[in-house]
């Protein structure tokens, strides 16, 4: 019985080996007729293959379209973000360009030589109240009463309130603003008073002094409020009255408050 | 295995090979999967894994599937046959030697 079982196992193994050998031989023989075999199958399959190829082509085109729509969308989003980043960079660069231009102008008239300046940007204007806001505050060394000028050395006002990162500038036209000034190249002194709404007046000018419309008013060091020689404005109108002891002179500021974007704060003079 | 079943399997693998070489080649599955799935390989392997271990069907599938893959590819005939045969025999060997499927004994 055991012998029979062993014989059976042996024959099973033999059968398996024989089978493998037959397969290998079959495969080898097929390779001799490879061309013929392949030609036969290609011939009978070609119509079906052609239609399958066409269907596959169309289906893959359709799928690729769906996939690419997603990719295009992603790319569009990426480009949009890139564009926004570039726009932000352009904005920063144009800001720097403006600052650079102003600093160059300031250097051109030796402003840096005369005073210690801090460049500030105007972040808010309240022209009706004759106040403006600048983006420099106590962190930048700004203190109250510091003079504020333009790059053309024209007086804008003085710091009235200082906060951490911004300051309030009281314009020369503010009703609370008053300081000593004189007419350039003439020894005529007076008191500049703000009249509100961007109007300035030169008061306490004696009646006998001759003032013409083209005269320029500059600050004097008398009051000690502002350094001497800052431009205040140009004479616009002179009012003489026999009743009044002094002439009243209307001054037209040299700068246009609406066009000012950058200013200098004189931190030391 | 009956002749009818054998013929049905031959026809099935023939169509699968056609699908593999004419239809699926258009789909760049590599983008998502890293490779294009081979239907014949998948079917033969699954049949070996879940078919009866004593059955000769797995070897037959490997032979027919590999043959049709070789016919419709540029490789020499026998390349895929031998690979599939090796896989099927390996699975059968592993199942026979190391996997025991519990059976209920009649009392």
In angstroms, the CA A255 to CA A234 distance is: 10
Domain annotation covers residue B86? yes
A83/B27: higher pLDDT: A83
CB contacts, 8 Å: B57 with chain A: none
In this prediction, residue A265 has a pLDDT band, given cuts at 50, 70 and 90, of very high
- For the ranges A50-54, A62-66, A74-78, B84-88, the lowest mean pLDDT is seen at A62-66
pLDDT higher than 90, residue B12: yes
Identify the residue whose tokens are 């069907």. Answer: B57
Residue A36: per-residue pLDDT:
84
Domain annotation covers residue B71? yes
pLDDT higher than 70, residue A9: no
pLDDT higher than 80, residue A94: yes
Which residue in B14, B24, B78 is closest to A31 by CB distance? Answer: B78
pTM above 0.80, yes or no: no
As a whole number, mean pLDDT of residues A70-84 equals 89
pLDDT tens, position by position, A95-104:
788 888 877 7
Which residue in B22, B67, B71 is closest to A53 by CB distance? Answer: B22
Domain annotation covers residue B107? no
Closest CA to A12 of B54, B5, B44: B54
In angstroms, the CA A25 to CA A19 distance is: 10
Residue A3: per-residue pLDDT:
47
Residue A1: per-residue pLDDT:
47
The one-character DSSP state at A153 is S
pLDDT tens, position by position, B34-92:
567 888 999 998 888 887 655 677 888 888 899 898 888 878 888 888 899 899 888 88
Domain annotation covers residue B106? no
Domain annotation covers residue B45? yes
At residue B7's C-alpha, the angle toward residues B6 and B13, to 5°, is 90
Domain annotation covers residue B104? no
Which domains are assigned to chain A?
116-268 (2.40.10.350)
Residue A49: per-residue pLDDT:
85
- The domain tally of chain B equals 1
pLDDT tens, position by position, A138-160:
888 899 889 999 888 889 999 99
Given CB atoms, is A11 within the 8 Å cutoff of chain B?
A: no
Which H or E run includes A103? helix A34-108
Q: How many angstroms from the chain centroid is the CA of residue A34?
A: 73
Residue A209: per-residue pLDDT:
81
Given CB atoms, is B19 within the 8 Å cutoff of chain A?
A: yes
pLDDT higher than 80, residue A131: yes
pLDDT higher than 90, residue A118: no
Which residue in B25, B63, B85 is closest to A56 by CB distance? Answer: B25
* Domain membership of residue B86 as a residue range: 3-98
Domain annotation covers residue B35? yes
In this prediction, residue A60 has a pLDDT band, given cuts at 50, 70 and 90, of confident
Count of Cβ atoms closer than 10 Å to residue B21 Cβ? 19
Q: Are A190 and A202 in contact (CB under 8 A)?
A: yes
Per the structure block, which two tokens stand in for A232? 């205040």
Domain annotation covers residue B58? yes
B residues 63..82 contacting A (CB < 8 A): 63, 67-68, 71-72, 76-78, 81-82
Residue A197: per-residue pLDDT:
81
Cβ-Cβ contacts under 8 Å for A186 (sequence gap 6 or more) = A209, A211, A215
Cβ-Cβ contacts under 8 Å for A162 (sequence gap 6 or more) = A137, A138, A142, A143, A144, A168
């Amino acid at each position: 019985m055991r012998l029979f079982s062993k014989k059976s196992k042996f024959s099973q193994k033999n059968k398996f080996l024989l089978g493998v050998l037959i397969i290998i031989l079959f495969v080898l023989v097929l390779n001799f007729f490879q061309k013929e075999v392949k030609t036969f199958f290609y011939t009978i399959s070609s119509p079906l293959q052609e239609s399958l190829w066409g269907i596959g082509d169309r289906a893959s085109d359709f799928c690729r379209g769906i996939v690419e729509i997603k990719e295009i969308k992603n790319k569009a989003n990426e480009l949009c973000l890139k564009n926004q980043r570039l726009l932000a960079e352009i904005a920063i660069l144009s800001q720097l360009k403006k600052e650079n231009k102003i600093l160059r102008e300031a250097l051109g008239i030796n402003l840096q030589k005369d005073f210690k300046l801090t460049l500030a940007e105007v972040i808010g204007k309240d022209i009706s109240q004759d106040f403006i806001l600048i983006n420099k505050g106590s962190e930048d060394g700004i203190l109250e009463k510091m003079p504020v000028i333009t790059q053309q050395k024209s007086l804008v006002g003085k710091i009235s309130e200082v906060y951490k990162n911004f300051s309030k500038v009281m314009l020369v036209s503010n009703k609370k603003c008053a300081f000593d000034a004189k007419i350039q190249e003439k020894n005529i002194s007076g008191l500049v008073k703000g009249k509100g709404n961007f109007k300035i007046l030169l008061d306490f000018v004696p009646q006998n002094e001759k003032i013409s419309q083209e005269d320029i008013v500059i600050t004097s060091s008398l009051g000690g409020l502002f350094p001497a020689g800052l431009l205040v404005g140009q004479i616009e109108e002179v009012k003489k009255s026999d009743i009044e002891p002094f002439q009243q002179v209307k001054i037209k500021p040299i700068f246009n408050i609406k066009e000012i974007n950058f200013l200098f704060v004189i931190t030391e003079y | 295995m009956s002749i009818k079943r054998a013929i049905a399997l031959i026809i099935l693998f023939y169509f699968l090979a056609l699908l593999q070489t004419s239809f699926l080649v258009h789909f760049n599955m590599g983008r998502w999967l890293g490779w294009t799935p081979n239907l014949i390989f998948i079917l033969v392997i699954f049949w070996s894994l879940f078919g009866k271990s004593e059955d000769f069907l797995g070897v037959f599938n490997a032979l027919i599937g590999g043959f049709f893959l070789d016919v419709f590819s540029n490789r020499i005939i026998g390349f895929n046959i031998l690979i599939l045969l090796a896989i099927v025999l390996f699975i059968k060997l592993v199942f026979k030697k190391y996997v025991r499927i519990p059976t209920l004994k009649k009392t």
